[in-house]
Structures are given as structure tokens and as C-alpha cells.
Amino acid sequence: MAMLNSAAGAPHARILSVGSCRGERVVDNAEMCTMIDSSDEWIQQRTGIVERRWASQDQTVVGMAADASRVAVERAGLSLDQVDAIIVATISGTRSMPSVACEVAAELGIQGAAAFDVTAACAGFCKGLSLADSLVRTGGATHVLVVGVEILSRLLDTSDRGTAFLFGDGAGACVVGPSEVPAMSPVVWGSDASQADVLTIDDSRSLAEGQPHPYIRMEGTKVFRWATTFISDRAREVLEASGLAPEELDVFIPHQANNRITDSILRHLKLPEDVVVARDIRNSGNTSAASIPLAMDELLSSGKATSGQQALLIGFGGGLAYAGQVVTLP
């Protein structure tokens, strides 16, 4: 029988660069409290959020993803035509067809790239990274753009004081390419569909005129409990799968869901005191699929973290779904 060719690519993959684009409108807690019955003190204590960034009227999901991608591709020292796959993680594309990734390709003038979306909410970016790792190592692509992008402010029920203060808008993009040395650990991922209903974009109920439809509906306490118990254990599995000891980890970049969730996972992992911890939620809010690359870019741009350090990433949220890996920072 004739033998089929099988896929073969680079020995390893790594993140070559990161870029980001933030919502232009700064919405601080004082402004938020003109919409919901809350206080700056409550929001800060319960989440760590001081302000969030919302997209201006002119900003779009595709435009923000494209802007972040341009920065990432330039920082990788590549030209746009060297990108041969685009994976966009998002839950806020306005059309289910074409994919946001295809629209980003068109916006950037990238012809011929494999382009598709990943719908995995706050786990989407890490799932996309893992797919990019596989593509590069199996020869499906050489340079993959992985983008997390959300405009959640347009999916908010601003009368719901249990969710409205939490979410923000932004885009983060990484270029993943070939590497001679390991720079991305095996992914740990999965889902718990028995909790599919606790975090949804709900299309089933009409809201008052002027409110967006559909909109995000969240049973926050249930998600919080899952994140601080089940996800803490998964984060430990990510570290074990990477082969690193806790003291060999330099940086921790969890999905920016809530600083109290971050603190809880940190305690569980027993990481050394000097590990750099992403706290981008303070100024960005929870940006779902965009939060990890936004936080990564913030840490690197501010000098809090540096290229070559080992960072544990873990995304978790609607699905409920999760994914995580350790990466060498670009």
C-alpha cells in the first residue's frame, strides 16, 4: 500500500513577539457607579479594578485585532506576508461568518493565510496558542498570529450590578514561530459543560430599550468558586507538565478575571515571593480572551518582566473551559 506523507515542521515553537491595542475610553469606577448601584471601594476590594478601558465608538473588534497584530508582526521583525496562519480567540465578533480571523487577514492585506476563530471565551487565547504550537511543529504553518480580542462593553447589561463593572475591551496578539529550543510546554486544557449555564451570552430575554442584545449573563459566585478550586489544581498541573519546579518560574499571567482569584491560585501554587504577577485587571478590567496577551505586553513594556523569562499562563471562563501552558516570554 502506498505510504502517505505525514506532517513535519520545526523542532519547537515559541512566542516571537506580543503587541496590543486597548480600548480608547477610560471608564473609572466613579463613572461606572453612575450606571450601577455600587462604589469604588466595593469594586476595588472585590476585584482589584480601578478603571477599565472601553472601545470608542470608532473602534471595532476587527480593527483592534488588526492594530495589535501589526505591532506584534513588526516586533517579530517580520513582514505581514510572512504570516501564514491567523487564529483569533473572541466571543465578541459581530458576525459568525466570515470569521474575525478572515476579516483581520483582509484588513491587514494578508493573502492566503489559514484563518479561523476559536470560541472558548477567557480560555480562547491559551487554546489558540496551543493550536499555533502544533501548527508550527507539524509544518501546517511557519508564522502564526494568535490574537485575543474583545469588545465586551457592547455586550453588557449595564443595569446588572453583578457583571457590568467587571468587563473591558482590548486586543492582544502574539506571533508564534519556529524555535531550536523548547519554549512552550504541553497544554493542559479541558471543559466542564455541566456548568455551561453559569456564564453565557444570553439571547433569550429582551432587555429594556437602549440595552444591548444579546448580553453577558454570569452567576459570578459559581464561576468564582470554580476558579479558586478546580482551576487552582489545573494551574498546578500546568506547572507539572512543564517540568519546571515552582522556584524556576519567573512570571505568572493568569486570565485577568479578578485579583482575588489570582491571589487564590498563587497561594495554591506556592510560588516564590519574587515571582512577577500580572495585575493588568487594575487598569483594563476583565477582557476575556484578550486579557492574557494584554497583560503579557504590559509586563514586558513596563520592564516588570523580561524576554527569556518563563511564564505560566492560564485562561478560564465561559464553557466552562480552561487552558494553560508555560511559555518563554518573547
Taking the least distance from each CB to ligand UT7, the nearer of 212 and 243 is: 212
In the complex, minimum distance from the CB of residue 162 to ligand UT7, in angstroms, rounded to a whole number: 5
Where would I find the H helices in the chain?
29-32, 40-47, 61-75, 100-108, 124-138, 220-228, 230-242, 259-269, 281-284, 291-301
Shortest reach from residue 308's CB to ligand UT7, in Å: 29
Any catalytic annotation for residue 122?
yes
Min CB(157)–ligand UT7 separation in Å? 13
62: contact with ligand UT7 by CB under 6 A:
no
**Interface with ligand UT7 includes 177 (CB under 6 A)?**
no
CB of 181 to ligand UT7, least distance (A): 33
When asked if residue 286 is in the footprint of ligand UT7 (CB under 6 A), the reply is yes
Q: How far apart are CA 218 and CA 120, in angstroms?
A: 15
Q: Could you say which of 21, 122, 126, 174 is catalytic?
A: 122
Tally the residues of the chain.
330
Calpha distance 285→279 (Å, rounded): 10
Do the Cβ atoms of 72 and 19 come closer than 8 Å? yes
Strands 85-89 and 144-151: parallel
Collect all residues with Cβ–Cβ distance below 8 Å to 302 and sequence separation of at least 6. none
Contact assessment for residue 291 and residue 23, using Cβ atoms and an 8 Å cutoff: no
Binding piece for ligand UT7, criterion CB under 6 A, among 8-16, 171-179, 218-226, 295-303: 218-226
294: which 3 cell numbers? 494584554
> Of 46, 70, 236, 282, which lies in the binding site for ligand UT7, with binding defined by CB under 6 A?
46
Residue 255 annotated in active site:
yes
Q: Rule CB under 6 A: say whether 207 interacts with ligand UT7.
A: no
**What is each CA distance from 328 to 160, 172, 187, 199, 306, in whole angstroms?**
39, 17, 14, 31, 10
If one asks whether residue 223 binds ligand UT7 (CB under 6 A), the answer comes out as yes
Stretch that binds ligand UT7, among 97-105, 128-136, 216-224, 240-248 (CB under 6 A): 216-224
Per CB under 6 A, the list member of 17, 29, 47, 92 interacting with ligand UT7 is: 47
SS3 263: helix
Does 29 help bind ligand UT7 (rule: CB under 6 A)? no
* Residue 20: φ, ψ to 5°: -145, 165
- What's the min distance (Å) between Cβ of 317 and ligand UT7? 3
Catalytic site residue 174? no
Query: Which spans of this chain sit near ligand UT7 (rule: CB under 6 A)?
Result: 36, 38, 42, 46-47, 122, 161-162, 165-166, 220-221, 223-224, 227, 257-258, 261, 286, 288, 317
Active site residues: 122, 255, 286
